[in-house]
């Protein structure tokens, strides 16, 4: 249930959640939808003592791992979380006015649509609100409002850490795969990194409510910092598994681009977010992509750039209502005439 004091911080389309039944969301897929009551122990990777064997096994078997000893000061993580929660708690109209270029505020987004839109019923809607942060544009961002000044500094420092982590992990993955570094050096570009901050409202009909529907990330790597409220689920061995937050750790997801780079040795992890019945949930997500124009060459897929992939995803989402993803680029025998 939403506290009355918080109600005006939510987009108007979310406010019916305060005790009023909402339309049920559609089934996410034909997969068995097991309601996980306990968290699954995903593999743990230690960034200070990085084992290529452990890293490779986690990427091949799970597509996700928990990162420890990542070098981000706990004080920075807690300060950033405080800023994020403070901004999300502002009245809806204030957020719209405050979070302007290069930041952008969105809510109730259709699946895979990067910019915000008004809530249009339950079908294919992610029940969340978010702030998009392009890291390369932050230094030029003149934040006159004092509420944004500290937030910007935290984001810049956090972004530098995430860039370091992503680069270190990618280089280790390339070694683990025995891929020539020269062939993949442009397949991850720090300048493409951006942060998305998400807030998911509580919902009384939690079993039928999805903060974010089933999907894979289009990135090379995604790095997630969850608050203490769980809800993230991954799909493995034909069932959904809950991955609860662990304080001080990060979750690293293999994305579609890394799956292609690895010739399908690493799998892009399918995941979703279940909304909590009583509490809102906040997560801080970092995504990084190949360089502009970088061609991904694989024995499993036709050569393509991330731009090619992005355009195909957007077209499929518009025409089919969902993302097809890497299957569009697979090297397959021609269909019989």
Model confidence pLDDT, tens digit, residues 127-178: 899 999 999 999 888 878 888 989 999 999 999 999 999 999 999 999 999 8
* pLDDT at 76 (0 to 100): 97
Task: Walk me through the domains of the chain, giving residue ranges and CATH numbers.
Answer: 4-307 (2.60.120.330)
- With bands split at pLDDT 50, 70 and 90, how would you rate the model's confidence at 50? very high
CB 307 within 8 A of CB 205: no
78 φψ region: left (φ > 0), alpha (ψ -120 to 50), beta (else): alpha
* DSSP assigned state of 23: P
pLDDT at 198 over 50: yes
pLDDT at 21 over 50: no
- Going by C-alpha positions, the residue among 120, 90, 121 that lies closest to residue 105 is 90
- Going by C-alpha positions, the residue among 297, 288, 298, 290 that lies closest to residue 187 is 290
pLDDT at 254 over 60: yes
* pLDDT tens column, 239-248: 999 999 999 9
Cα 38 to the center of its chain, rounded Å: 22
Read off the pTM. 0.87
- Going by C-alpha positions, the residue among 215, 279, 275, 285 that lies closest to residue 251 is 285
- Going by C-alpha positions, the residue among 208, 202, 166, 8 that lies closest to residue 92 is 8
* pLDDT at 139 (0 to 100): 85
The residue ranking higher by pLDDT, 259 or 184, is 259
pLDDT at 5 over 50: no
pLDDT at 182 over 80: no
> In the predicted model, what is the mean pLDDT of residues 307-336?
85
pLDDT at 88 over 60: yes
* pLDDT at 28 (0 to 100): 38
* pLDDT at 18 (0 to 100): 53
Query: How far apart, in Å, are the Cα atoms of 248 and each of 3, 223, 276, 282?
Result: 28, 13, 21, 15
């Amino acid at each position: 249930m939403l506290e009355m004091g918080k109600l005006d911080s939510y987009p108007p389309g979310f406010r019916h959640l305060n005790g009023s039944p909402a339309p049920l969301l559609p089934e996410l897929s034909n997969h068995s939808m097991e309601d996980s009551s306990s968290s699954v122990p995903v593999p743990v990777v230690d960034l200070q003592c990085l084992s290529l064997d452990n890293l490779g096994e986690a990427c091949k078997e799970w597509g996700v791992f928990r990162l420890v000893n990542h070098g981000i000061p706990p004080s920075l993580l807690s300060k950033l979380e405080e800023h994020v929660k403070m901004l999300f708690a502002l009245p809806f109209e204030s957020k719209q006015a405050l979070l302007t270029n290069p930041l952008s505020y969105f809510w109730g987004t259709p699946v895979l649509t990067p910019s915000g839109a008004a809530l249009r019923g339950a079908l294919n809607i992610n029940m969340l609100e978010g702030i998009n942060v392009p890291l390369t544009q932050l230094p030029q961002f003149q934040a006159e409002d004092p509420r944004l000044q500290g937030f910007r500094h935290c984001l810049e420092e956090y972004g530098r850490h995430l860039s370091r982590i992503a680069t270190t992990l990618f280089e280790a993955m390339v070694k683990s795969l025995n891929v020539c570094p020269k062939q993949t050096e442009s397949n991850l570009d720090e300048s493409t990194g951006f942060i998305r901050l998400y807030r998911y409202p509580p919902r009384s009909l939690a079993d039928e409510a999805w903060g974010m529907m089933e999907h894979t990330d289009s990135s090379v790597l995604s790095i997630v910092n969850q608050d203490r409220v769980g809800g993230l689920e991954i799909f493995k061995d034909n069932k959904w598994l809950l991955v609860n937050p662990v304080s001080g750790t990060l979750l690293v997801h293999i994305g579609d681009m890394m799956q292609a780079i690895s010739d399908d040795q690493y799998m892009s992890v399918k995941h979703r977010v279940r909304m909590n019945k009583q509490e809102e949930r906040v997560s801080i997500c970092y995504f990084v992509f190949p360089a502009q124009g970088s061609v991904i060459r694989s024995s499993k897929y036709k050569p393509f750039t991330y731009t090619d992939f992005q355009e195909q995803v957007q077209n499929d989402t518009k025409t089919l209502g969902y993302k097809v993803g890497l299957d569009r680029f697979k090297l397959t025998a021609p269909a019989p005439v």
